[in-house]
């Protein structure tokens, strides 16, 4: 009896600690999601957490002072005296209410009382702003309207797809052919070639960037889709070969032998037997490669450079962070657009993704 109570106790403690950690892990992304739907003015003035009920000053009434009030002199409001600076940041009157300028020129003052409040303005404008290249008018905090050209991220989204889909499928195809050869065919240098693959698992790709860039410049591949596919294929191959090798080498041998007896060629065995049997492995490593290419920044930065036609999303967003560091309404929406695809893939295929991690736990 005592023991079971102790057990429930410790289980509760475990649950509470874990829930707390999960909350911390979730907050950054949740904050981004909430912010991306808030109007630009709101984002710049209040934190995203104010969309939850919180105590804040809420305007109860406004007082209009006489037009001729001199702002450089002490100002009398409801029998009390304040100066201009106090009213600018807000000052507490004797009855507990807060006084703050609503419009200094019109000489109106807001009388505020603390109360429960929810900032529940939500908008899709931010997403419109980043997805299309149209010009938008944005109401700023001082009431003026500013015209702003949208980011046109949809083109970059398409580019990212064109880069990512082949850069996921091609290395897996090449790696599966190679893994089949390593596992089931006999040829000279097989062993040393495979050890070289294992070693390349951990070679930092920075080591390879400069020479490849030189070759690309000579071949005219810079800034082309083909160039970036080849680069991602090369960098993804070691892990993919290693992963596919461990899977394919564990397939039962008699399977191929009977096929061989029936006169099937290696190519037929590969396409009719190996590929269909490897689907689970291909799925898991495929998700891994997909996320890696989709999220890549360095490789694109080096091989695509400043070619605007082929720029991928990570480059566009990084450029926005640099040039529009405080345009949070655009940054948050853009970041979420770029997360949409990987998060969908992640949640839909989480099971396979985890299996992919367990297969080859070293990524170069």
Partner 1 sequence: MLASTPKTSKSRNVAVTLAVVLVNAIIHSGIYLFLRDTNLPSVLYALLAIIWGVLGVYSIYWSFNWAVEQYSDIWKRRIQPFIFVGPAALLLGWLLLIPTLRTLYMSLMDAGTEKFVGLSNYAAIFTNRLLLTALRNNLIWVAFGATACIILGLLIAVLADRSSFEKLAKGIIFMPMAISFVAAGVIWKFIYFYKPGDEQIGLLNAIVVAFGGEAQAFTSMLQPWNNLFLVAILIWMQTGFAMVLFSAALKGVPEDMLEAARIDGAGEIRIFRSIIIPAISGTILSVSTTIVVFTLKIFDVVMVMTGGQYDTEVVATQFYRQFFMYRNAGYGATLAIVLLIAVIPVIIINLRQFRKQGGF
Which residues, 267 to 296, sit near partner 1 by CB under 8 A? 267, 270, 291, 294-296
| Least distance CB 72 / partner 1 (angstroms) | 24
Note whether 9 binds partner 1 by CB under 8 A.
Answer: no
Indicate the residue among 143 and 325 with the shorter CB distance to partner 1: 325
Indicate the residue among 66 and 188 with the shorter CB distance to partner 1: 188
Q: What's the CA gap between 124 and 131, in Å, rounded?
A: 11
- Of 144, 250, 306, 361, the residue at the interface with partner 1 (CB under 8 A) is 361
**122 φ/ψ sector (left φ>0, alpha ψ -120 to 50, else beta):** beta
Q: What's the CA gap between 2 and 181, in Å, rounded?
A: 61
Note whether 212 binds partner 1 by CB under 8 A.
Answer: yes
Note whether 124 binds partner 1 by CB under 8 A.
Answer: no
Indicate the residue among 39 and 65 with the shorter CB distance to partner 1: 39
Of 57-65, 74-82, 208-216, 278-286, which part binds partner 1 (CB under 8 A)? Answer: 208-216
| Least distance CB 120 / partner 1 (angstroms) | 17
Note whether 256 binds partner 1 by CB under 8 A.
Answer: no
| Least distance CB 25 / partner 1 (angstroms) | 5
In this structure, are residues 311 and 159 in contact, taking their beta carbons and an 8 Å threshold?
yes
Helix (H) / strand (E) containing 356: helix 350-359
Q: Single out the residue of 357, 356, 337 nearest to residue 161, CA to CA.
A: 337
* Tokens matching residue 183: 């596992």
Looking from the CA of 95 toward its CB, the CA atoms found within 13 Å total: 9
Indicate the residue among 116 and 347 with the shorter CB distance to partner 1: 347
Torsion (CA) 325, 328, 331, 332 in degrees, nearest 10: 150
Note whether 206 binds partner 1 by CB under 8 A.
Answer: yes
Q: What's the CA gap between 36 and 117, in Å, rounded?
A: 20
| Least distance CB 87 / partner 1 (angstroms) | 16
Note whether 201 binds partner 1 by CB under 8 A.
Answer: yes
Note whether 363 binds partner 1 by CB under 8 A.
Answer: yes
What's the full length of the chain, in residues?
Answer: 364
# residues near partner 1 by CB under 8 A = 120
Of 72-80, 110-118, 123-131, 182-190, which part binds partner 1 (CB under 8 A)? Answer: 182-190
Q: Single out the residue of 194, 151, 159, 96 nearest to residue 317, CA to CA.
A: 151
| Least distance CB 267 / partner 1 (angstroms) | 5
Note whether 48 binds partner 1 by CB under 8 A.
Answer: yes
Note whether 51 binds partner 1 by CB under 8 A.
Answer: no
Note whether 170 binds partner 1 by CB under 8 A.
Answer: yes
Torsion 71-76-78-82 (CA) sign: positive
In this structure, are residues 359 and 196 in contact, taking their beta carbons and an 8 Å threshold?
no
- Of 9, 15, 52, 257, the residue at the interface with partner 1 (CB under 8 A) is 15
Indicate the residue among 190 and 272 with the shorter CB distance to partner 1: 190
Window 331-360: residues binding partner 1 (CB under 8 A):
331-332, 334-336, 338-339, 342-343, 345-347, 350, 354, 357-358
Backbone angles phi, psi at 108, to 5 degrees: -110, 140
**78 φ/ψ sector (left φ>0, alpha ψ -120 to 50, else beta):** left
Of 61-69, 102-110, 125-133, 176-184, which part binds partner 1 (CB under 8 A)? Answer: 176-184
**Reduced DSSP (H G I as helix, E B as strand, rest coil) percent helix, strand, coil of the chain, to 5:** 60, 10, 25
| Least distance CB 26 / partner 1 (angstroms) | 6
Q: What's the CA gap between 353 and 207, in Å, rounded?
A: 28
In this structure, are residues 292 and 167 in contact, taking their beta carbons and an 8 Å threshold?
no
């Amino acid at each position: 009896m005592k023991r079971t109570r102790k057990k429930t106790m410790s289980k509760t403690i475990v649950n509470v600690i874990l829930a707390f950690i999960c909350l911390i892990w979730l907050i950054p992304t949740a904050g981004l999601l909430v912010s991306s739907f808030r109007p630009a003015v709101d984002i710049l003035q209040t934190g995203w957490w104010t969309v939850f009920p919180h105590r804040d000053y809420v305007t109860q009434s406004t007082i209009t002072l006489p037009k001729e009030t001199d702002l450089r002199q002490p100002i009398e409001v409801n029998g009390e005296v304040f100066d201009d600076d106090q009213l600018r940041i807000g000052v507490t009157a004797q009855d507990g209410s807060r006084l703050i300028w609503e419009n200094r020129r019109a000489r109106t003052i807001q009388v505020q009382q603390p109360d429960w409040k929810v900032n529940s303005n939500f908008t899709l404008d931010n997403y419109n702003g980043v997805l299309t290249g149209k010009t938008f008018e944005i109401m700023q905090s001082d009431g003026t309207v500013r015209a702003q050209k949208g980011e046109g991220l949809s083109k970059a989204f398409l580019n990212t797809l064109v880069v990512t889909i082949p850069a996921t499928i091609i290395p897996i195809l090449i790696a599966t052919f190679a893994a089949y050869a390593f596992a089931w065919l006999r040829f000279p240098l097989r062993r040393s070639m495979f050890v070289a693959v294992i070693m390349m698992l951990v070679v930092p790709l920075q080591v390879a960037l400069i020479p490849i860039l030189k070759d690309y410049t000579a071949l005219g591949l810079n800034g082309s889709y083909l160039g970036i596919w080849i680069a991602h294929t090369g960098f993804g191959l070691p892990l993919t070969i290693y992963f596919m090798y461990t899977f394919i080498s564990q397939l039962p041998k008699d399977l191929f032998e009977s096929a061989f007896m029936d006169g099937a060629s290696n190519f037929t065995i590969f396409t009719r037997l190996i590929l269909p049997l490897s689907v689970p492995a291909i799925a898991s490593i495929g998700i891994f490669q997909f996320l890696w290419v989709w999220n890549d920044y360095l490789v694109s930065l080096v091989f695509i450079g400043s070619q605007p036609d082929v720029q991928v999303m990570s480059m566009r967003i990084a450029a926005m962070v640099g040039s529009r560091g405080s345009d949070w309404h655009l940054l948050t929406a853009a970041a979420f657009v770029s997360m949409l695809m990987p998060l969908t893939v992640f949640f839909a295929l989480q099971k396979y993704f985890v299996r992919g991690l367990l297969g080859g736990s070293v990524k170069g």
